Amino acid sequence: VDALALKRDLERSCHAARAAARVLAATGRADKDRALLAIAERLVSDAPALLRANQVDLEAARAAGLTEAAQDRLRLDEARIAAMAEAVRQVAGFDDPVGEIAGMRRRPNGLLVGQARIPLGVVLMIYEARPNVTVDAAALCLKSGNAVLLRGGKEAARSNEALGQLVRSAVASVGLPEDAVQVIAPLGRDETRVLVGLQGLIDLVIPRGGEGLIRFVAEHARVPVIQHYKGVCHLYVDESADLTMALALVDNGKLQRPGVCNALECLLVHERVAEPLLREVALLPGLSIVGDAATLAVVPAASLATADDYGREFLAPTLAVRVVASLDAALDHIAQYGSNHTEAICTSAYPNAQRFLREVDASMVLVNASTRFNDGGELGLGAEIGISTTKLHAYGPMGLESLTALKWVAYGEGQIRS
């Protein structure tokens, strides 16, 4: 009975979201931007109430023995709230993706056809501790005309509830339906399982968090899911590479921010340049290396890589290294161990650059640039609602446009089909 009641409640939320989505889809940019600016204002003016709600979460987190890092991710303060407000104001400044009509052309019978950009409908975000995702996702979904259901982590339940109420009242204050944004109380994994099974009621699920969360969602989903497992990013340094550049790309890729998904995890180096390059790589401060026998011959301080070290996302200043005999060997390694996230080559040879760009299957493939550039902001998308490492619907960082679809439109003068 409880399970049935839960399902009924969640279905009711979805129906309310769908009704709100229908209104939002027909709402122009000016009204959507007014809602966003109202959210930004209230974030600042209601900061004390938000901090009180966050305090309750933080105390529970401490009592439950969460790590310092986890507590920090959960924490709100004046500066973080101001940053959230600023991010919402930036979304207000972005172009509205909805309404553009692409590829308008006249068919031989005179029918004028094109593809109009429209919102997806109802988006479900499932995410872990950071409360700023609540506001970021709400802002991006509103701007793109979508209703959103926000299912955050248990640890941030009070903070997310307070943020959700704030956003809803800001949306209502400009005359838009508050059910466009709904925070779902995180009771366990039950409501997640029910939600992702609501075929026809939810148009897209975007899970953000650890691999376990994403696999759980993918396993139970009966609606489309954006999948982003891990980022096992490679840099292949070709025999023709500028080794000074290659060293800078290793340093930046691996050490600038080792804990993120576009950080470098594995260096593949052509055997003809392995010795000079690896000697320099070994000197990078704070870096530890796990490599194959050829690597150890140059860098005796490195550890021997185990089978698991290739294809591993270290999320730490540890770099896997493998010496390869050719571009083909590098391409094979990446096909076997890559995660379809980000792959780069450092080369001066035009045919190798072109071949790498063409043959590597990843959401971003770079020549002579750091893997760290696979990021919505760096690519000019504005903000990111997620990253997809599968090719369906989106591949790579997802901006506002990824929250839309194209429908066919036709302007006729009575055309019938013969």
Q: Which residues bind its own copies (CB under 8 A)?
A: 22, 25-26, 99, 105, 107, 111, 113, 116, 118, 120-121, 199, 203-204, 218-219, 222, 224, 242, 245, 248-249, 251-252, 256, 335, 353, 357-359, 361-370, 372-374, 378-380, 390-393, 395-397, 405-417
Q: Rounded to an integer, what is the distance from CA 130 to the centroid of its chain?
A: 14
Distance from the first to the final alpha carbon of the chain: 56
Minimum CB–partner distance for residue 366 and its own copies (Å): 4
Closer residue to its own copies, CB minimum distance, 242 or 292: 242
Closer residue to its own copies, CB minimum distance, 139 or 387: 387
| Residue for token pair 């379809």 | 340
Is residue 186 within 8 Å of 125, Cβ to Cβ?
A: no
- Residue 303's φ and ψ, nearest 5 degrees, are -90, 155
Residue 145 DSSP symbol = T
Alpha-carbon span 344 to 364, nearest angstrom: 8
Minimum CB–partner distance for residue 407 and its own copies (Å): 5
Alpha-carbon span 217 to 326, nearest angstrom: 39
Is residue 216 within 8 Å of 189, Cβ to Cβ?
A: yes
Residues forming beta bridges with residue 143, ordered by sequence position: none
Residue-wise over 14-29: b if at least 16 C-beta within 10 A, else e?
bebbbebbeebbebeb
Minimum CB–partner distance for residue 379 and its own copies (Å): 6
Minimum CB–partner distance for residue 413 and its own copies (Å): 6
Minimum CB–partner distance for residue 187 and its own copies (Å): 25
Minimum CB–partner distance for residue 244 and its own copies (Å): 8
Minimum CB–partner distance for residue 149 and its own copies (Å): 17
Closer residue to its own copies, CB minimum distance, 59 or 332: 332
Minimum CB–partner distance for residue 234 and its own copies (Å): 15
Handedness of CA 42, 43, 47, 49 (dihedral sign): positive
3-state secondary structure of 377: coil
- As a whole number of angstroms, the longest Cα–Cα distance in the chain is 79
What would the two tokens of residue 307 be?
């089978």
Beta carbons within 8 Å of 414's beta carbon, 6+ residues apart: none
What are the Cα distances from residue 365, in Å, to 136, 220, 328? 27, 31, 16
Closer residue to its own copies, CB minimum distance, 165 or 342: 342
| Residue for token pair 């571009």 | 327
Which amino acid belongs to residue 15? Answer: H
Minimum CB–partner distance for residue 409 and its own copies (Å): 5
Is residue 250 within 8 Å of 235, Cβ to Cβ?
A: yes
Closer residue to its own copies, CB minimum distance, 31 or 251: 251
